[in-house]
Structure 1
Amino acid sequence: MRTTLFGYTIKNGKAYIDKEKAARVQKLFDGYISGMALRTAALEAGIDTFHGSAGRMLKNQKYMGTEYYPVIIDEETFQKAQLEREHRAVKLGRVHKATENLPILAPTKFSFRSQEIMFDDPFKQAEYAYSMIESEWF
């Protein structure tokens, strides 16, 4: 079951803006853009939540409006918050660049020596069979 986004209320299957909570969402965005930490901005806005939850609120594009949710945050404010998040992540060294995909060098052809010993225990036989594998590279 999904929950209703903070700042909205649902009536008869339709989302409406809860003016009091929507003002808090706007204050969260404004506080974060002005330089406050996530949790501090949330608390100042009257939203008692964790750092991660406040961060998810800032990333939620539904606040810019969808077919279902009306607009609470304009696109310019939303983009400023995203730029600020990116700026802070870079400043704190929390942006990890993707490493170059190097080819995986693994044997692609195998050959077996003949099995000269037979065990009654299937696990010992399998262990012996695997020890007989000779691999060739490419």
Structure 2
Amino acid sequence: MGHTPYGYRIENGKAVVDQEKSEKIKMLFEAYLSGDSLATAAKKAGIKAFHAGIGNILKNKRYVGDGFYPAIIDKASFEAAEIERMRRAENLGRIWEKKALIESPAPTFFFIAEGNKQFDDPFKQAEYAYSLIETEVNANGGQCECNSNTRKEA
């Protein structure tokens, strides 16, 4: 088992509610739902943690209870806090949509002449290796002829 969430302790291999800390968790949820910021709600609850740690407490589903951890927060309060957290994040512009992947027009393979020159400078060696490319096959299956920095679609 990983880290034991704030508000619980392990006794004889089972999670039990730490009464003092669980009261702080309840106060944190109440203060946050009353409109306090994460830092202010944590201060009122007497929890010393960084901003991200308080945010993690508010979104930790274990506080509602699961097979191992007993419930500290009722489901309605947890869901209300999650809705409020998302509302605040959206108002602050902190919701990012995943960008669609852009297909790269990079070739899938090359036809290359055999080279036999060796250079001490790795940049010169790379330049020489690239100069050996005769044709490349594009992602769409078309071929390009490559002659010293010029490309022609075949």
Q: Same-fold call, TM > 0.5? A: yes
Equivalent pair of 1:118/1:125 in contact (CA under 8 Å): no
**Aligned-partner SS, 2:111:** strand
> Unaligned 5+ residue runs, structure 2?
142-154
User: What does the per-residue CA deviation read over 1:46-94, in whole Å, with 9 as the maximum and x for residues that have no partner?
Assistant: 1111111100101111111111110001111111111111101110001
The residue that corresponds to 2:147 in the other structure is none
Which structure has the highest strand share of the two? 2
Query: How does 1:11-30 map onto structure 2 within 5 Å?
Result: 11-30=11-30
Q: Which moves more between the two structures, 123-132 or 15-24?
A: 123-132
Match of 1:62, as an amino acid? R
Q: Which has the higher contact order (CA 8 A, sep 6+)?
A: 1
- TM-score, normalised relative to structure 2: 0.77
- TM-score, normalised relative to structure 1: 0.85
Match of 1:42, as an amino acid? A
Equivalent pair of 1:108/1:136 in contact (CA under 8 Å): yes
Question: Deviation above 6 Å: which 4+ runs of structure 1?
Answer: none
The residue that corresponds to 1:34 in the other structure is 34
The residue that corresponds to 1:63 in the other structure is 63
| TM-align CA RMSD | 2.4
Q: Which moves more between the two structures, 49-58 or 97-106?
A: 97-106
CA distance in 2, matches of 1:114, 1:9: 67
Structure 1 residue 129, shift from structure 2 partner: 3.1
The residue that corresponds to 2:150 in the other structure is none
User: What does the per-residue CA deviation read over 1:83-135, in whole Å, with 9 as the maximum and x for residues that have no partner?
Assistant: 111101110001111222232211123112454x54486x6995323321132
The residue that corresponds to 2:76 in the other structure is 76
Which structure has the highest helix share of the two? 1
Equivalent pair of 2:119/2:125 in contact (CA under 8 Å): no
Q: Which moves more between the two structures, 39-48 or 98-107?
A: 98-107
Equivalent pair of 1:43/1:49 in contact (CA under 8 Å): no
